[in-house]
Amino acid sequence: MTDTAMPSYGASPEEWATFDLLLGLTEDLLPVVSNPNAVISPDSKMKALGKTPSRYNRLRQVAGFSNWTTYKATSADVARWSGEDYGICLQTRTIRALDVDIDDPDMSAKVRERIEAVLPGVCARTRPNSSKFLVPVEIRGEYAKRIIKTAQGAIEFLAGGQQFVAAGTHPSGARYTWVPYLPVSLPLLAPEAFEALWSSLVAEFGIEEVRTQANNRKGILAQAVSGDPVALALIERDMVLSHEPDGRMHIVCPFAEEHSDDGSESATTYFPAHTGGYEHGNFKCLHAHCADRSNADYLRALGMEENPADDFEALGDAPSGNVAPSSWPEAVDLEALDSIDALPPRFIIPDWLPEGTATLFAGHGGAGKSGMALHLSSCISLGEPFFGLQPVQRRVLYLSCEDRAEMLHWRLSHICDFMKITLKDLKDHLYLLDLVGKDSLLYNKDPRTGKYITPAFRSLKERISDYKAEVLVVDGIADTFAGNENSRGDVKQFVNMLIDVVPLNGALILVGHVAKPATILGSKSSEGYSGSTGWHNSVRARWYLYPEQTEDESAKANRLILALQKSNYGLTDQSIAFEWHTPSHLFVGTQQQPSTPQEKACLNEREQHQVLATIVACQKAGVKVPGAMQGHTTAVGFLRVHPEWPVSLRADRRETRARAKDHLTALLQHGLIRQGRSWSENRNSMQVLEATEEGVSLVEGSDLVVGGDEK
């Protein structure tokens, strides 16, 4: 095999691995086209290359990365981007940065000396043709952008909603470098220490007052909503408390004097036109006194109903109590979509738990659903595996309507012992609400008015906002849904209103019971739910927990089977067998292997394709795959840690290693991979595996699941 040197403007595999795996910043990473010779798409609003999140469209033209401030990357994203010669953008969500934009080398050196006095040995991003540099640091809390003007440039503090290029090529053609070396960790700076450092920089180098983005909030907001006179009026009257990246404004309610309590800052919200799914502006207040107020009521309270702007349609009354606005959105802009890459379905748990939608977890009463759901929630909240399933880490809000805090404590203590963690480790990751004996009805349709939003639902929205929860687990349906379970309309409204409050990178898990026929039929039943088929149709994935059938029907089953009965975006031929483990006080599961020849053939084909896809991904990222089948460093051992590797082959057991080796042998025999040799700089050779052109084409032309992450 001959290595061909190709021009590279993006981040190196080592740089991607550093920020993704070593520093654990996967969710905050984004791609940036660093190639100064790339062509910006004529449909894009981008003005320059190499400084803001961007990617190639299908014509290899550059387009901006839309809604990047709310995007959370996955390992699959990073694997794809690292193979496309992209640079790395890092969002400043928790990792902030001091960006020293000073041209004078002497002043730049003095600023760096001042920073290093507080952060000794800190790594800095530089480039060889400039004295400018950037220092990343972890600072927790809410911060806004700050700027110090100096005699030779500026010192900028990058905070929430911003980003910086961590690796790649500057538009001048110079590569970014890190001195003294790529960071292996980033310093944590306490808020007090940061303020002291910032004050010293102002005192020593500043020539003008420190400016922060928050000082100019009115102007920025006014520019963003210049076409909405109601929003402009709210800004001018200082009624805006805060705003979200999507444009919504949390405001002082005009009827605040009637509220029974102060509530949270986000209790009253104004959605400017074309935000939050509304064609026109819309008010929402979570306080009970405002539950029946219309948009016209708010406008009258603001004294605006008689003077709408000529280019702004007066707000009409939305159907009272409905989650969705009455107006449908505009048609999807296909021309705009044509300029960006199509994103595959994303999962929090491959195949089992899709992002941004609902999943139904149904089973027999008393079978152990609540305990399993709590165990699963703990795993998701920390990104820890759940009996062979590897979730992406997400903050979880768990509504317990059947178990009180004491029982949750008992169960969670055993779960933590099993996971070898402490309850404290779950703090700020898993939020439990004991709703036993409380008003837990999230949906209760009033036959007189048709309204179905309840006070409990308003409380739920507040908690999701306060906790910044991403996955909502509702245990269970019977305690929160007071509609007609046999009415498709009621079921659809209930599921949709809950999906609406879950962020796009999150998920909804509904825990419920099965119908009586299913309790009798067990595994023979395809209906692992109770009530209308609306439950089946309204969710994108459905899990069914049932006792394993025995030959002696009168004997009690020793095992429970959790089957994936529906997965719109993944494969369904999967299940986990659970047995009660007395020492742990838990159901402990193992993934089941296929039993029929057809199931075995399907699994074999799927695994083989994913093994090939892993080799292709490594090849595109410039990573050499060792070709040895035996010894210290084998192909299987090397590939097993990559995200594309099939979940069913990740266990480090003799039988899985043997099956993976058989797949590699089959791929060699079919000419989809080949063995070659690679030489290092000191001319040492190593046997490697690489995909053939036919193998690469097979992977790129397939929509089969890769690593269990996509379909």
Residue 686 pLDDT class (50, 70, 90 cuts): confident
Cβ neighbours of residue 665 under 8 Å, at least 6 residues apart?
none
Q: Which one, of 696, 616, 678, lies nearest residue 3 by Cα? A: 678
- Output the pLDDT for position 214: 44
Residue 260 pLDDT class (50, 70, 90 cuts): low
Q: Is the dihedral of CA 368, 369, 374, 378 positive or negative?
A: positive
- Output the pLDDT for position 323: 42
Q: Which one, of 568, 172, 155, lies nearest residue 347 by Cα? A: 568
Q: Which residues of 477-501 are buried (b: 16+ CB within 10 A; e: fewer)?
A: bebbbbbebeeeebbbbbbebbbeb
State how far Cα 352 lies from the chain centre: 16
The answer to whether 557 and 368 are in contact (CB under 8 A) is: no
Is 627 a residue whose pLDDT tops 70? Answer: yes
Measured CA to CA, the distance from residue 429 to residue 469 in angstroms comes to 8
Residue 2 pLDDT class (50, 70, 90 cuts): very low
Which of residues 519 and 638 earns the better pLDDT score? 638
- Output the pLDDT for position 4: 46
Token readout for 364 is 């027999």
Q: What is the pLDDT of residues 30-41, one digit of tens each?
A: 999 999 889 998
Among 211-225, 528-542, 596-610, the range scoring the smallest mean pLDDT is 211-225
Is 681 a residue whose pLDDT tops 70? Answer: no
Q: Which one, of 669, 661, 670, lies nearest residue 627 by Cα? A: 661
Measured CA to CA, the distance from residue 572 to residue 567 in angstroms comes to 6
For 89, phi and psi rounded to 5 degrees?
-100, 140
Cβ neighbours of residue 688 under 8 Å, at least 6 residues apart?
1, 624, 625, 626, 627, 675, 676, 677, 678
- Average pLDDT of 664-686? 81
Q: What is the pLDDT of residues 140-166, one digit of tens each?
A: 887 878 889 999 999 999 987 789 999
Q: Count CA atoms closer than 13 A to 239's CA, side-chain side.
A: 19
Q: What is the pLDDT of residues 55-105, one digit of tens each?
A: 988 888 998 887 787 788 888 889 889 888 899 999 998 899 999 999 999
Residue 521 pLDDT class (50, 70, 90 cuts): very low
- Output the pLDDT for position 123: 93
Q: Count CA atoms closer than 13 A to 447's CA, side-chain side.
A: 3
Residue 628 pLDDT class (50, 70, 90 cuts): confident
- Output the pLDDT for position 292: 77
Is 673 a residue whose pLDDT tops 90? Answer: yes
Is 682 a residue whose pLDDT tops 70? Answer: no
What is the DSSP track for 350-369? TTTEETTSEEEEEE-TTSSH
Among 165-169, 353-357, 406-410, 551-555, the range scoring the smallest mean pLDDT is 551-555
**Taking all residues of the chain, what is their mean pLDDT, rounded to a whole number?**
81
Q: Which one, of 373, 393, 374, 375, lies nearest residue 383 by Cα? A: 393
Q: What is the pTM of this model?
A: 0.48
Measured CA to CA, the distance from residue 168 to residue 446 in angstroms comes to 58
Q: What is the pLDDT of residues 358-374, one digit of tens each?
A: 999 998 777 889 999 99
Which of residues 580 and 87 earns the better pLDDT score? 87
- Output the pLDDT for position 316: 34
Token readout for 472 is 């909502």
The answer to whether 358 and 508 are in contact (CB under 8 A) is: yes
What is the DSSP track for 270-288? EE-TTSTT-SS-EEEE-SG
Token readout for 383 is 């990104």
The answer to whether 250 and 241 are in contact (CB under 8 A) is: yes
- Output the pLDDT for position 210: 57
The two beta strands, 541-547 and 559-567, are antiparallel
- Output the pLDDT for position 263: 63
Residue 262 pLDDT class (50, 70, 90 cuts): low
Q: Does domain 597-700 have CATH number 1.10.3470?
A: no
Please state the three-class secondary structure of 82-127 as a single string: CCCCEEEEEECCCEEEEEEEECCHHHHHHHHHHHHHHCCCCCEEEC
Measured CA to CA, the distance from residue 81 to residue 338 in angstroms comes to 19
Q: For the sheet containing 249-251, what is the strand order?
A: 240-243, 249-251, 268-271, 282-285
The answer to whether 687 and 626 are in contact (CB under 8 A) is: yes
Helix (H, G, I), strand (E, B) or coil at 591: strand
- Output the pLDDT for position 626: 87
The answer to whether 511 and 369 are in contact (CB under 8 A) is: yes
Residue ranges of the chain assigned to CATH 1.10.10: 597-700
**Given 3-state DSSP classes, what are the helix, strand and coil percentages for the chain, each rounded to the nearest 5?**
30, 20, 45
Among 263-267, 310-314, 503-507, the range scoring the smallest mean pLDDT is 310-314
Cα–Cα distances in angstroms (integers) from residue 594 to residues 253, 569, 704, in the given order? 58, 20, 19
- Output the pLDDT for position 319: 36
Q: Is the dihedral of CA 663, 664, 668, 669 positive or negative?
A: negative
Is 322 a residue whose pLDDT tops 50? Answer: no
Which of residues 406 and 549 earns the better pLDDT score? 406
Q: What is the pLDDT of residues 338-362, one digit of tens each?
A: 877 777 888 999 889 999 999 999 9
- Average pLDDT of 210-231? 55
- Average pLDDT of 587-595? 74
Token readout for 163 is 């980003």
Architecture of domain 356-540: 3-Layer(aba) Sandwich (3.40)
- Output the pLDDT for position 105: 94
Which of residues 313 and 531 earns the better pLDDT score? 531
- Output the pLDDT for position 471: 97
Is 708 a residue whose pLDDT tops 50? Answer: no
Residue ranges of the chain assigned to CATH 3.40.50.300: 356-540
Amino acid letter, residue 14? E
- Burial (0-12, 13-18, 19+ Cβ within 10 Å), 508: buried
The angle formed by the CA atoms of residues 308, 310 and 314, to the nearest 5 degrees, is 40
Is 277 a residue whose pLDDT tops 70? Answer: no
The angle formed by the CA atoms of residues 21, 25 and 27, to the nearest 5 degrees, is 115
